[in-house]
Amino acid sequence: MSRWRVCKLGDAPLDILDGDRGKNYPSQDEFQTSGYCLFLSTKNVRADGFDFSDCQYISKERDELLRKGRLKRNDIVLTTRGTVGNVGFFDDSVKVANIRINSGMVIIRPIEDELLPSYNYYVFRKLQDDFHTFVSGSAQPQLPIRDLKEVEILLPPIPEQKAIAAVLSSLDDKIDLLHRQNQTLEAMAETLFRQWFVVEAQEDWEEVVITSLFEVRDGTHDSPKQKAIGKPLLTSKHISTNRLEIENAYLISEEDFENINKRSKVDQNDILFSMIGTIGLIYLEQSRIIDYAIKNIGLFKTSQNLDWCYYTYLWLRSSLGQDFIHEHRSGSTQEYISLGSLRSIVFYAPPLEKLNEFNATISPIFAKKKVNINQIRTLETLRDTLLPKLMSGEVRVSP
């Protein structure tokens, strides 16, 4: 450890940069659904990296008016307002070419001859567990740049930075491979659903209201007090693509947990649905052990009627489901979809024998996906256990 040095982020070989918040900031009518430059929002930076499922863009002409906030390769984006500490790494794996940051986040730019970009990324991954001690504000937590600069880190020599980053990135690469396999499996399942129940749909199939098949509920509308120790309380913002960001949820007491789960308990083979903010993110809970409660999340109790579990999940992800979501969304400053709307969903129900045949065809895909999810969790646990030990020098690796 003799060659490792302690330094504050303000003294480390990196720059901390904010976006352009002055008179040149784009107005709402200048944002587009596609365009030259992605204008990154805090909702696009999750605990596990970037999420480009719901993005805003600006034109090249509008981009050229901005003075600050443009990402360069190997920059880190750190959220500093709302959910503080989410980190995205703009390395070569990110295929978007032009990105600027919105408010509520900063750019961390390493000086590469002293700080390896991949090591810099893991510095901030380690700090994710510590940022809550530096934030101010309760309704809207914030981490000002002046306070961020006071955070201390350990900085080893470049050869050791490289060795540490290699160990951690090898685990992340395996996790990413499994995620991509699951995306392929999802695409296969969606293609089969579309062929069986959209392309080959029959006019004589009966309409069935979803609530005649199973219950549709939502999570608590209360705001139980946050606890230092307890059970995670998930909201819509904790539903990500094919995963739940349980690590970002705050904790509630056992008593509040039990009270919420009297009406909103999630069981294996239930479907979660984001109802507020980014609407329509969907997660099929395949785990047997479920140790969280939900708030303002739609809950399709497909565990009550397993014949309709895969069909409902894939319907929600299909063009049929997405059209329904678009038609029933409400709100201006923050969009939402009501529980009443979810309960009004109508399926054109295929004959039960066709549904059973589909389930037999599709179940191996979901079984493989479940195996991958379990492997992902195992690797994430290993990585998250190693991360603080490697970054503190408790566990050493040879350069």
Is the Cβ–Cβ distance between 135 and 143 less than 8 Å? yes
Give the type of residue at 161. Q
Q: Give the per-residue pLDDT at 47.
A: 82
Q: Is 2 exposed, middle or buried (0-12, 13-18, 19+ CB in 10 A)?
A: exposed
Helices assigned H by DSSP within the chain: 60-63, 117-127, 145-148, 158-194, 254-264, 309-317, 319-328, 339-343, 352-392
Q: Give the per-residue pLDDT at 267.
A: 96
Using the predicted structure, report yes or no on whether residue 138 has a pLDDT greater than 70: no
CA atoms of 66 and 60, how far apart (whole Å): 10
Q: Give the per-residue pLDDT at 310.
A: 98
Using the predicted structure, report yes or no on whether residue 27 has a pLDDT greater than 90: no
Both tokens of 204, joined, read 């004589």
Give the type of residue at 337. I
Q: Which residues pair with 81 in a beta bridge?
A: 142
Q: Which residues pair with 295 in a beta bridge?
A: 220
Q: Is 310 exposed, middle or buried (0-12, 13-18, 19+ CB in 10 A)?
A: buried
Using the predicted structure, report yes or no on whether residue 377 has a pLDDT greater than 70: yes
Q: Indicate the fold that domain 5-155 takes in CATH.
A: Adenine-n6-DNA-methyltransferase TaqI; Chain A, domain 2 (3.90.220)
pTM: 0.83
Mean pLDDT of the chain: 92
Q: Give the per-residue pLDDT at 70.
A: 93
The predicted model gives 355-371 an average pLDDT of 96
Secondary-structure class of domain 206-349 per CATH? alpha beta
Using the predicted structure, report yes or no on whether residue 333 has a pLDDT greater than 80: no
Band of residue 305 on the pLDDT scale cut at 50, 70, 90:
very high
Q: What is the DSSP secondary-structure string of 286-341?
A: --S----EEBSEEEE-GGG-GGGHHHHHHHHHSHHHHHHHHHH-B-SSS-B--HHH
Using the predicted structure, report yes or no on whether residue 165 has a pLDDT greater than 80: yes
Q: Give the per-residue pLDDT at 131.
A: 80
Is the Cβ–Cβ distance between 280 and 320 less than 8 Å? no
* Share of residues in the chain with pLDDT > 70 (%): 98
pLDDT digits (tens, 9 = 90+) for 197-243: 999 999 999 999 999 999 999 999 999 999 989 999 999 989 987 78
List the chain domain ranges. Answer: 5-155, 206-349
Using the predicted structure, report yes or no on whether residue 2 has a pLDDT greater than 90: no
pLDDT digits (tens, 9 = 90+) for 92-133: 999 999 999 988 899 999 998 899 999 999 999 999 878 877
Using the predicted structure, report yes or no on whether residue 29 has a pLDDT greater than 90: no
Using the predicted structure, report yes or no on whether residue 361 has a pLDDT greater than 90: yes
What is the greatest pairwise CA distance in the chain?
Answer: 77
- Which three-class secondary structure state does DSSP give residue 6? strand
Q: Beta strands 297-300 and 216-218: pairing type?
A: antiparallel
Q: Which of 22-31, 46-55, 354-363, 388-397 bottoms out in mean pLDDT, i.e. has the lowest?
A: 22-31
Both tokens of 199, joined, read 């392309």
